[in-house]
Amino acid sequence: MRGFMADLIVIAFDSEADAEAAYNEIQVLQNDLVVELAGLALVKVDDEGKTKVEYPGVVGKVGAGAAGGALFGALIGILFLVPIAGLVFGGLFGALFAGLDKTNLDAEFRDRVKSAVSAGKSAVVLYATKITTDKFASALAGYNGTVVQTSLSEKDERELIHDLSGAR
């Protein structure tokens, strides 16, 4: 058994409609206890490269407390270069980047996300505290998503990528 750890999963989509459908499906999967979320966002990048981020409404059961929510918001901001209220001070932003570089969220990861979620594309970003990988992948297989990066074990990541790409 591993200690408490959340997995950051970015799934890129060529179609905004597929991303929105997957985003809604993930909320259903949370209600069915297939995934427990500490954060969930739908990221849309228009044809001009402008990024829009949507979070579930108050009816969503996503909740990691204020600190977890702030961290998830900061991760979204860093990955997609979205301005983050509250991290205006350079020292805080620098400290966050330094901390991320000690994790799997290094510059290479950020570059992979930026290249996969470019102009005209969308992504679903989730911060999961628990996930049943096979059921999750099976439920999302029809939406044509591509797993850009996860902090799951290598075996789990391979299975998730394989299962998501298997329905194409």
* CA 22 – CA 124 distance, rounded (Å): 8
* CA 121 – CA 12 distance, rounded (Å): 7
Say what the pTM is: 0.73
- CB contact at 8 A, 130 and 2: no
What does the pLDDT look like over 82-127, one tens digit per residue? 655 444 434 444 444 444 444 555 667 778 888 888 889 999 998 8
* CA 83 – CA 97 distance, rounded (Å): 14
What does the pLDDT look like over 22-56, one tens digit per residue? 999 999 999 999 999 878 899 999 999 888 888 88
